[in-house]
Amino acid sequence: MDLSRTTEARAGARGQVGTAAAPLGVARSSSSTLRGSTVVRPAPAHAAPGSSSWTPPPHLVDSTLRALSELALRLRRLRADVPETRAEASAIVRMSALTIRDAVAADAAAIATLQNALLATTAIEWTDTPHTVESRVAWIRAHQHEGAVLIAEEGGEVVGFAAYGDFRDSVRWPGYRFVVENTIHVRRDRWGTAVGRTLMEALIAHATAAGKHAMVAAVTGDNQASIRFHERLGFVEVARMPEIGAKHGRWLDLVLLQRRLDDRPAPPA
């Protein structure tokens, strides 16, 4: 049925004013006066699809736009799961090859290198004396006796380490035996690649399994990157001790952050 012709015929026969919304194929831009009434003229019929004068009907345009909008949304969702840069893609590949293991004496040289990298230029550690391989061998043994030293290894290279040991001397003061203090160092070219988070998550799991109740991080007050790093891991700032350290000719604040490792209401007997 030709809907436009039927509409015109009815309007002309009844002498009514065309006020309703024009149906498909009917235009209200072309009209004439007949006995005081406006007669709606039909718009030209659509040309055959594929011809140069063909105009798609509105319902087809609407459905096409909806389909394109849904496709764009799906593409955005897929893109959110894909690394945007080569650096991010490389980081994902590197993380798949990352190994976390217990430290051995042979790791002492790599640990000393990591600790000494920023020793002279920052206040990350409150000492000016570089660490030696011999001192790190003894340090590894002491921390493994009290807690753990974990190594992050990638492609056969040590790219970071994390450790925990007594917060205070638990032999002299056994009341501190359920609290440990952590330290972590990551090679600078691996910052922001989740090496540090992976190390800390493994370290926290180790301490929890060992029956520790809390882990403490002692961070220089102006080391905001380390403070935020620990906070993202669930540590909470519990103390700020102003001007208790000195290095590079200035006073240093110490920030203590703490993470509870379990929900035991009381220590074991």
DSSP string, 129-177: SPPPHHHHHHHHHHHHHHSEEEEEEETTEEEEEEEEEESS-TTT-GGGT
**Has domain 100-260 been given CATH number 3.40.50.970?**
no
CA dihedral 185, 186, 191, 197 (to 10 degrees): -80
The residues, any chain, with a CB within 8 Å of residue 127's CB and separated by 6 or more, are: 119, 247
pLDDT at position 76: 65
Nearest to 60 by CA among 31, 10, 33, 24: 24
What is d(CA 3, CA 7) in angstroms, rounded to the nearest whole number?
6
pLDDT at position 71: 76
pLDDT at position 269: 83
What is d(CA 225, CA 231) in angstroms, rounded to the nearest whole number?
10
What is d(CA 216, CA 241) in angstroms, rounded to the nearest whole number?
14
Name the residue type at position 15: G
pLDDT at position 58: 73
pLDDT at position 94: 53
Q: Where are the domains of the chain?
A: 100-260
Tens-binned pLDDT, residue by residue, of the chain (269 aa): 444 444 444 444 444 433 344 333 333 444 444 444 444 444 444 555 555 556 667 766 777 777 777 777 766 666 555 444 555 545 544 556 899 999 999 999 999 999 999 999 999 999 999 999 999 999 999 999 999 999 999 999 999 999 999 999 999 999 999 999 999 999 999 999 999 999 999 999 999 999 999 999 999 999 999 999 999 999 999 999 999 999 999 999 999 999 999 999 999 98
